[in-house]
Amino acid sequence: MKNIRNILCIGAGYVGGPTMAVIADRCPEYRVTVVDIDPERIRAWNSPRLPIYEPGLQEVVERCRGRNLFYSTDIPAGVREADVIFVSVNTPTKTFGHGAGRAADLQFVERTAREIVEYAQEGKIVVEKSTLPVRTAQALSRVLQANGKGLRFPIVSNPEFLAEGTAIQDLTFPDRVLIGGTDDPEGQEAVETIAQIYTHWIPREKLVTTNLWSSELTKLVANAFLAQRISSINSISALCEKTGANVDQVSQAVGMDSRIGPKFLQAGIGFGGSCFRKDILNLAYLCEHYGLPEVAQYWESVVDINDYQARRFVEKILEAMFNTVTEKKLAILGFAFKANTGDVRDTPALAVCQRLLAERATLAICDPKALDNARKELGDAGGRVTYHQDPYQACQDAHAILLLTDWPLFQTLDYPKILQGLPRPAFLFDGRNCLDHKALFEMGYNVYPTGSPPWTHFL
Ligand code: UDX
Ligand code: UDX
């Protein structure tokens, strides 16, 4: 096991940023540096206004920044000084060429490997933190070992399982930490070296060590299984709406089976975020590559149901609102892909809003943390989209209220007061199924839950 003094993380995003902050906090004897090619991001990490919103993150950063946590754009110096390098750059789905729309775009990962080779003056452990297709470590290794300087760069896969909105909690109390390495002594020593970081605050029995490929694959499979549960319950929500069953009751009773468990059974407008779609498509691509088209198809159907669910939501709105939303103002409560984050990557709210704009609706979007990002995605669509911090302003004069993100704030709004400012009939579509539908109906709203029949005043 090597002694660590300096840790470098390349990529100051949603994963690298919080992960390194927690490592710096828990391991005061290490000097942790986070570098990024984007100087704006680094400037923000060094400012009072961090580039990402994550509950509890600000406090951790403020405790450690300037003490043993540093943010910089100086990649060469960072690489030179590091004993261990975490690679946490983004790996989007390819948008061009072979595998477009499905395979992961590894150009950033490869570029990072080349930077390490260029600036390193001695060998160091390189840790894959980004979620990567299985066997990426091999490609990485080939670039790193062909360094012409005789240096060794053992590779470790250490995928991150944190969820946005609960990142600090997940990093502090993880269900497990997965560390994969090669079977040779060099690989095993590298695994032990990385394990030593986590044992500062995580019980040893939560550390799982595997070979490299198992570790890489586990991350894709974990995300695929989680997404699959959401698509499963969403598919059942469609059936519930037709039959009069209530999806919340079904998921509660199903989840009480200890073999199934209660989590990730919340029906809604579909999953979003930077990982689920990308990782499933990537898994499917991998299966096809290895001659397993049936397996690929199985996993792709999880994404198909997700797209169907957002499409179905808009169709429900149209049908209820007399087949037209043209020129109607719709209040959009929530744009982030989930509560407690400002992240809008692959948010189902975007798909819903785009469809509604295609129907020529007017949208008033409210979100506590995601308005800037929402604006970047949607713009003002020729004056048909407005953005509001105040939910009451967004709802004023709206023909319908659409709840698209499960922010707790939206559960405690003064709905009787909102109703006074609405034209009649007043419509409310609960895309996250988190409001009290009966109470809203009794106030006078026509309420459309997800996964149970509507509550309407129409005869
Ligand atoms: C995470 C995971 O790491 C990735 O595996 C997953 O697939 C997507 O989510 P995340 O931290 O959320 O990535 O991505 P992002 O917030 O975009 O951060 C990546 C950072 O890397 C960006 O700040 C980007 O500027 C930086 N970067 C990218 C580099 O520093 N160098 C590069 O060559 C490319
Ligand atoms: C996910 C994984 O949970 C995490 O382990 C991995 O490291 C990254 O990907 P994240 O995307 O940040 O994390 O959030 P998550 O809480 O998993 O939610 C993903 C999406 O699923 C959100 O849009 C959320 O609203 C939706 N969701 C979640 C449901 O629709 N129903 C549920 O029951 C749970």
291: left (phi over 0), alpha (psi -120 to 50) or beta: left
Distance from Cα 275 to the centre of ligand 1, integer Å: 12
Whether 275 is catalytic is yes
What is the rounded CA–CA span in Å between residue 33 and residue 82?
A: 9
Nearest protein CA to atom 31 of ligand 1, as residue: 37
Quote the pLDDT of residue 51. Answer: 96
**CB distance 438 to 246 below 8 Å:** no
Protein residue closest via CA to atom 3 of ligand 2: 163
- Does residue 104 surpass a pLDDT of 90? no
Please identify which of the residues 275, 287, 353, 395 carries the catalytic annotation.
275
Question: Residues 110-137: what's their mean pLDDT?
Answer: 92
pLDDT value at residue 137: 86
Q: Whose CA is nearest to atom 13 of ligand 1?
A: 90
Give residue 133's pLDDT band: very low, low, confident or very high (50, 70, 90): confident
Residue type, 214: S
Among all bound ligands, the one having the nearest atom to the CA of 112 is 1
Residue ID of nearest Cα to ligand 1 atom 20: 11
Q: What is the mean pLDDT of residues 124-142?
A: 89
The pLDDT assigned to 188 comes to 97
Q: So what's the pLDDT on residue 317?
A: 98
Q: 335 C-alpha to center of ligand 2: Å?
A: 15
* pLDDT number for residue 217: 94
Whole-number Å distance, alpha carbon 358 to ligand 1 midpoint, is: 32
- Of 400, 396, 394, 399, the C-alpha closest to 371 is 394
* Amino acid symbol at 104: A
- At 76, give phi and psi (nearest 5°): -55, -50
Ligand nearest to the CA of 373: 1
Residue bearing the CA closest to ligand 1, atom 16: 13
Ligand found nearest the CA of 78 = 1
Which pLDDT value is given to residue 1?
Answer: 78
Pocket of ligand 2, beta carbon within 6 A: 160-164, 223, 226, 230, 264-266, 268, 271-273, 275-276, 337-338
Work out which ligand 2 atom sits closest to the CA atom of 266.
33
User: Is the model more confident about 345 or about 91?
Assistant: 345
Pocket, ligand 1, Cβ cutoff 6 A? 10-16, 36-38, 41, 88-91, 108, 111-112, 129-131, 274-275, 278
| Distance set, CA 254 to CA 163, 231, 232, 261 (Å) | 24, 15, 12, 8
Percent of the chain with pLDDT over 90: 92
Instruction: Using DSSP, state whether 409 is helix, strand or coil.
Output: helix
User: Which atom of ligand 1 is nearest the CA belonging to 112?
Assistant: 33
The closest alpha carbon to 172, from 70, 84, 55, belongs to 55
Which is more confident, 377 or 106?
377
Question: pTM of this prediction?
Answer: 0.95
CA of 51 to the centre of ligand 2 (A): 21
Question: Looking at the CA of 338, which ligand is closest?
Answer: 2
Nearest CA to ligand 1 atom 33: 108
Q: What is the bridge-based pairing of β-strands 69-72 and 6-10?
A: unpaired
What is the pLDDT averaged over residues 42-48? 98
Mean pLDDT on 161-169: 97
Mean pLDDT, the chain, whole residue set: 96
CA of 337 to the centre of ligand 2 (A): 9
Q: Are strands 84-87 and 125-128 parallel, antiparallel or unpaired?
A: parallel
How many angstroms separate the alpha carbon of residue 192 from the centre of ligand 2? 30
